[in-house]
Amino acid sequence: MKMKHFVPLLVELGIVLLYFVTETEQAQESADIVFLIDGSNKVERAEFQLIHSFIANIVEDLNIGPRAIQIAVVQYSNVPSTEFYLKAYSTKRGILKAMEHLHQKGGHKANVGLALQFLMDKHFIAGAGSRAAEKVPQIMILITSRQSTDDVKNAVFLMKKLGTFIFVVGVKDADADEMKMIATDPSFTILLPDVRRMAPAQTQLMPLLSLIAKKQLVIEVQESKVEAQVSKRDIIFLIAGSSCVEHENFLEMVKFISNIVNKFVIGSDSVQVAVVQYCDDHPLTEWYLNTYTTQSALQSALARLRMNGGREVYTGAALDYVFKNHFTRAAGSRKEDGVPQLLVVITGERSVDDVKVPAEALKRAAVMTIAIGVKNADQAQIKDIAIDPSLIFNVERFQDLHGIKEQVMTPLSTLAGVTITYDQPTEPSIKEVDKKDIVFLVDGSYSRKRRKLPIIQSFITKTIEAFDIGSDTVQVGLVQYSDSATPEFFLNTYSSKDEMLSHVRKLRLRGGTVLKTEEALKYVLKYIFNKYSGSRHEEGVPQFLVLITGGKLNDDVKQTSDALSRAGIKTLAIGFENAIMQQLQEVTLDANLVFDMKDLHSVPEVQQEVLLSLSTLNIPTQTTGLSISPTIKVPTEADKKDIVFLIDGSFNVGDTNLPPIRAFIKSIIETLDIGTDRVQVGLVQYSDIAQPEFFLNTYSRKGELIAHINKLTLRGGTELKTGAALKYVQKYVFTRDAGSRKEERVPQFLILITGGRSKDDIKAPSDALLRSGVMTIVIGAENAIKLQLQEAALNPSLVYSVKEFHSLPEIQQAVLIPLSTLNGVRIISELPTLKTINENPETQERDIVFLIDDSQRAAASFDSIQEFLYSIIKQLNIGEDRNRVAVVQYSEKARVEFPLDAYTDKGDLLAAVQRLRPAGGSVVNTGAAMKHVLEKIFTKAAGSRRADNVPQILVLLTCSKSMDDVKEAADTLKRAAIVTFVIGVPDSDIQELQEIVYFPNLLFEAQDFKSLPEIQEQLLQPLTTLIIKIIKMPHGVTEGHKRDIVFLIDGSSHVGIYFYLIRDFIVNLIPHFDIGKDKDQISVVQYSDDTRVEFPLNALSNKEDALAAVKMLRQKGGSELRTGAALDFVRKNVFSKSRGGRKHLGSSQIMLLITSRKSQDDVRRPSEQLKQAGVVAFIVGIGDVEGSELRQIAYSPNLSFQVDNYLGLSDLDLHMLTVSQRTENVPIPPTIGSGVDRRDIVFLIDGSAKLGKGFQVVRKFMAKIVEGFDVGVGKVQFSVVQFSENPRTEFFLNSHATKKKVLVAIKKLKLKRGKKINVGQALDHVMHEVFTSSAGSRIGNAVPQILVLLTCGKSNDDISQQADKLRELGIVLFGIGLKDADETVLEPLAYSPALAFPVKTIKGLVNIQHQLQQIMKTVAVEVVEKSAGDK
């Protein structure tokens, strides 16, 4: 008699383990056992011996023999190798003897998939001794030390299908999930992190091996629907074959399908594939599902596939055709057998006909449709076609299809079917649900009387008390809202009822006068009902939202309410006070779920009704009538993220704070899905310098990350340089080599955790990170400075502050929200961040030439180009002394439509644009066209005002690769200071466009001509705000291509380890020079206390030798820095004829000085002699070099540059080159006073009684500012004015002629006092009494006029007119708001919003002093961008 017991069903293959209890106690044991063991280098030699002993011990306990149990052993790493076959040894002694000769094979990889296939091909066959044909059990025991380095799925599938018993023993870093996937049953896996403790594994294995050998445990492979859901599937590819696709794109589609199909086992009992091509309204069947039954036949058919052609796309008709003609039994469909039916639609055009009706028919028939949109595909139609939004894939070009292959493979391989639910109007089910997620959204506005708060608290408390609270039962979240929403606690914040109730009892209204219910509903949908905040929606747990409000709904909530409903969230609404019940029905979508709690008597009744609803309602069904959801969740691009932690590792943090930092990072990582194709994590520590712990691509498993973090120790350091650390992560961590997937558009996150004040500038490197697409989240603790945290963060809302590091768990959920919801940043412009400008957009002058590609390819979309051009010009202020516009079209040749002086009236100009017609042409010569506009349009005869220094702009729009060279023409335009904007569409050559464009951020890409309106605003911003100031060079600089360039670099010991960054700076510049005997020559000279020539101008004759020579540079050393002596040396010796100088041959002579500190000798005389000799000196100062000295040495102030630290050199590369190229021939200017910094600065100080003792701090603040400038007649002048009810001038601009006298005057200042302040009156006073020539102002001599307003209260008079008056006079106002200053007034007053500085405390002035000083010193910059506030 036999008893049959079912061991758990293996869903993947329809495999059932059957356990038999036989009447015979002793059954003959027989089995074929193959040991597959990891022999890679991951397993140490001693560990391999332990595995060897483990196998030997198992063999010792088995009954070995030709009719009993046979053993084989195979090693694997890169490739598998046989140690001995099943038939090799028939005795236990023979096997053990053979085992003695077992040696580890080594290898870097662990290809388990390859090894499994090897076993099936070479071992589980009769020739190797397998007795499978005799129904002897086949057993494989895999011993692995890590995750497989190749794909195992297909091999596992085939091995299981053969009925092989698979056991997996994992040691060391074996992947538990992979082990379970490989094993016949999860219970057949044994995980042993320590190889030395393998004895328990033998104890677990032996009983199971015995049962199998006695055939008391057998495998039954069933042909069932379960098997069909994974191993069998019918896949039809529906591809657009119209002529719009083009032949090369069609081949890309075929290649994509071929690569996908190649991953499957093809056959009548596995995967079947059909292909249908369509265009116009007659789809064409290439072959049916049952046409080809082998992989080779299918691939041959794909190779023969040719594009059908046709002019229009009828996707709707094609969907209907496939549904009626292919998803049928006659065409090979196995839908009736439960085999998943999949349709992959690939289209690159908008369908002429409707797609929605046939797509819905496919969905109702349980066909899972994947939609791939390319190029011009209509997104609304793509959404209608796909069965689920997660099954929509979009690429810009057909060539990009290969990039989504793995993403498409996932649903094709894993989707097992769809569940179709038809909604029926039903009564709520009275069924107790153990698990639920409940979120309370509470009106916390000021309009709610505080006496109502206890009622609300009591209501929420009683609701919570009615449920079993816990992470596996009922979870509750709470959000308050008024004008914005604020979470009190998330669903996963509390797992204890007592903690939750304690929080509710301490609840206080958040305040606010406006009630924005729709925004609050959106907030909870996006940020609370997600897995990071604790929602278990994906697990099928019912989701409830309870809205409690006492006000009228001022906004339309219907769209958001529908979204909540579609997301499966059931909303209940409770109204009190002024709430309108009819409005609340729009929120709940069900009148039965609106409850009126307008008086105290109704509270108990409402409480019971709400509790009944929460206790009895299940997950709401969708209201759309039909809901279709895939059985298996498909991974999407949104699951991918690159996250780098940048943590303060200085001594300020201390060892006591390290454990909470480690715990916080681990808690974040625990919530993430770690993997090379999912979330990657990197970690960098910093103090004075940054040091990586691990990069984004170092670890691919969560366990490895956690293990490294557990071992983390502080690197130490006394200073904190956050700015330098931000530059480091941008340059060395968010890169492809370090694992960043930025180029694949994977979201990039930086989480900065710091506990102190940074010693360097944060703003510039933070802006650079933002421009590179990195989203920075900032966490500050203990001594961190709030202003610095805000400068570092992507947005002030992403700054999280805690008093101490031990409080980090309090903000974990808040940090997870942006990590889970932010997808990226859109950079509109990357123009320089300094915003100092005095040009009014209404009066601005510029000459703009549009150079338009009118080749045959562009001509087809000329209407879109014409409309785009019309829209741009419409936004410009056109006039003879305003903006002038010319248009030139080109293909083989350029054709001038109208020059710059043709139209001075906007109406006439727009009419001319409407009359434009394309000429067409087979090829384009962009280089020749650019040369043409330079010679024929940017001339005085054609209306150009280039000679009057009016900005010259060229806007190139092209869709084709040029047939001629563009580099020479582009370089010529740059040297002529003509700023070229470039607009390219997909078929243009990106590398070519980058060569043409003036700055990289002036390159705009559109998907196609129809998409041009999408970039209009991006183009207009720099087009209307960019200012180009021509840098004047001495005669001869631009003649020909001969230049003598000398790098004079600080080689003193002060530079230290950062010398290599100076060397790299030169290395990065050299590729941009045309080095040769009759072209550019370069020399490098080091200096400190003396000067040393590394190589002279005539030493190197090509770029390669120059690069090699620079890379070999070694630091000179020396304690002093004698810059004056070095300048003299260079003039007399390096630029001399004997050392290769070619001044006598007309070559330009350029020197680039790089220095790290103030010179210890005089630089004035040597600088003047250099200028008189015609040497153009560029100078770069690093760190705290005195700005006045830099400007004195530089040929002109425009040619002096200053960076905060050595890392900042990398940001100068391109800027230095563009400056050196924008040149004109003019006589040498006078040397007297050259390089002197001149500006007039007035402090307008709030002297009211409110400032009080803070006046001492203000005095020190002013003194610090003054100390940073070179004060004197003909240099920088200062004035101070105090004000309260009325203003009082303390001293004028011409009162004190030296820095010492100004500082003494500031020190003597006494607080004016007064109860009120009149800012308007004070501003009028400084305009009429201080910024005048009689008071010392040089406003008429183009000297920058700066006003620093410092106020700590609200003005009592009108200030609405003063801002415009100040701008008209060219006065740049910096606004500093202390204490209760009105920030809403301060920002409009400031010259631009960037020059408004709110400071919460008086002591906070020290935090902005350096930043303010730097901006004040650079009000005259070469290329600037107007801020929004300037328009």
Radius of gyration of the chain (CA): 38
**Rounded to whole angstroms, how far apart are CA atoms 405 and 960?**
28
pLDDT at 1217: 46
Q: What is the pLDDT of residue 432?
A: 38
**What pLDDT, on a 0 to 100 scale, did the predictor assign at position 1431?**
36
Which pLDDT value is given to residue 825? 60
Distance CA 439, CA 430 (A): 21
State residue 1426's pLDDT score. 33
What is the structure's pLDDT at 622? 38
Q: Tens of pLDDT along 972-1012? A: 888 777 889 999 886 778 788 888 987 766 788 887 888 88
- Measured CA to CA, the distance from residue 938 to residue 900 in angstroms comes to 8
Tokens representing 966? Answer: 């563009």
Position 181: which residue type? Answer: M
Identify the residue whose tokens are 């007297």: 1232
Residue 755's CB: how many other CB atoms inside 10 A? Answer: 22
Q: Which of 821, 845, 839, 906 is nearest to 870 (CA)?
A: 906
Task: Answer yes or no: are the C-beta atoms of 1093 and 1134 closer than 8 Å.
Answer: yes
Contacts of 328 (CB under 8 A, 6+ apart): none
Single out the residue of 1068, 1071, 1074 nearest to residue 1041, CA to CA.
1074
How far apart are alpha carbons 686 and 724 in whole angstroms? 9
In the chain (1431 residues long), the average pLDDT of successive 10-residue segments reads: 32 51 55 95 89 91 92 94 92 90 88 91 92 93 92 83 91 89 86 80 85 81 40 90 82 91 86 89 85 84 84 86 87 87 92 84 87 89 87 90 87 69 34 75 72 80 87 91 85 85 83 84 87 83 91 82 88 84 84 78 77 69 34 49 93 82 89 88 92 91 89 85 92 89 88 91 84 88 86 83 86 78 51 34 80 86 90 90 93 92 92 89 90 92 86 91 89 83 82 82 79 81 64 41 87 81 85 82 94 92 89 86 94 88 82 92 88 86 83 79 75 48 31 57 92 88 91 91 93 92 93 89 91 83 86 85 80 84 74 78 81 72 32 36
Task: Find out whether 1234 and 1166 touch, Cβ atoms under 8 Å.
Answer: no
- What pLDDT was estimated at residue 810? 80
Between CA 1323 and CA 1347 the distance in angstroms is 9
Q: Determine the Cα–Cα distance for residues 1174 and 678; give it in Å rounded to an integer.
A: 59
CA dist 1283 and 1012 (Å) reads 53
pLDDT for 1026 equals 65
User: What is the predicted pLDDT for the residue at 547?
Assistant: 94
Rounded to an integer, what distance in angstroms lies between the CA atom of residue 1307 and that of residue 268?
A: 95
Q: What is the pLDDT of residue 986?
A: 66
155 vs 157: CA distance, rounded Å? 5
Predicted local distance difference test score (pLDDT) of residue 1430: 40
Cα–Cα distance measured from residue 1415 to residue 1406, given in angstroms and rounded to the nearest whole number = 15
What is the b/e burial string over 1081-1097, where b = at least 16 CB atoms within 10 angstroms of the residue's CB?
Answer: bbbbbbbbbebebbbbb
**Residue-wise DSSP of 1263-1301:** HHHHHTS-BBTTSEEEEEEEESSSEEEEE-TTS--BHHH
Written as six digits, the tokens of 15 are: 């495999």
Q: Which residues 6+ apart lie within 8 Å of 667 measured at CB?
A: 809, 812
Q: Is 126 helix (H, G, I), strand (E, B) or coil?
A: helix
CA distance 866 to 872: 10
